[in-house]
A and B are shown apart, each in its own frame.
Chain A
Amino acid sequence: MNLKEIIDNLHLEPVTVPRNFAEITPTCGYTSDLLSCVMSGAAHQSIWVTLQAHINIVAVATLLDLSAIIITEDAKPDEATIAKANEEGINIFLSKEPTFTVVGKLWEMGLRCQ
């Protein structure tokens, strides 16, 4: 499955510069709000689901080369965070739904934690 299918299926709102999402295929999923856990647990190219909208999430995503961050519960990153993400080429999507539901749906689509 690719990012476009995920965006459509979960009604996600992209907040970073749009690109050809159909070409990006995430390998697996990961969720945690603790940056240290993400650093040690999330695999290369995975999708990270979190409700943290703090600028530090971009640094973590860059470091791990994640394919996207989904920010849940209608939390909004500030402009500095979005600008930083665009600069680093990190995709950020927003969801109104809580982490539990977002992950539940990704799991239903067949995405797994490695």
Chain B
Amino acid sequence: MIVSELIDLIKGKLINKNADLAREVKGGCGADLMSDVLASIQPEAVLLTGLCNPQVVRTAQMADVAAIILVRGKVPPQETIDLAESERIALISSPFGMFELCGRLYQAGLHSLEMPVSDPDCSCEK
């Protein structure tokens, strides 16, 4: 599914104008600990999070995240919006909570894009 379809699905509101809505979303990842996201998320996932600080966008940028969903209608501070704007990552606010969002997206066929931390790629013991 692409970002614009994702927005429809979660009754989301796009917060930043400068975003790539045609980008393909290949799966989901829900977490509030950014290090965990960085450890496990694969490229092109949608990140669901309850955090609103600019680090969410930075993390998304580092980890090649396709879109960010802020749960429970959260409104992020301006620095977060500005950063999403300049990095062209869709920042979406959804009225649903994290539990509901994981459930709905899972149901819609989006599967987890988190890999087990002991992946062979980076060949490093946990």
Contacts and interface: CB of A to CB of B under 8 A. Distances in A.
Chains A and B share a contact (CB less than 8 Å): yes
A98 B112 contact: yes
A107 interface: yes
Interface string B12-39: 0000000000000001111111001000
A113 B113 CA distance: 23
A21 to B, nearest CB: 21
Interface stretch (B1-9, B75-83, B93-101): B93-101
A18 interface: no
Name, among B31, B36, B116, the residue most crowded by chain A CB atoms within 10 Å (CB to CB): B31
Interface string B69-109: 00010000000000000000000000001111011111100
B59 interface: no
Contact of B103 (A74, A98, A104): A104
A65 interface: no
Interface stretch (A8-16, A25-33, A77-85, A86-94): A25-33
Contacts of A30: 97, 99
B50 interface: yes
Contacts of A106: 99, 103
B107 A100 contact: no
A1 to B, nearest CB: 14
A94 B58 CA distance: 30
A68 interface: no
Interface of B: 27-33, 36, 40, 48, 50-51, 72, 97-100, 102-107, 111-114, 116-117
Interface of A: 29-34, 37, 41, 49, 51-52, 73-74, 96-101, 103-108, 112-113
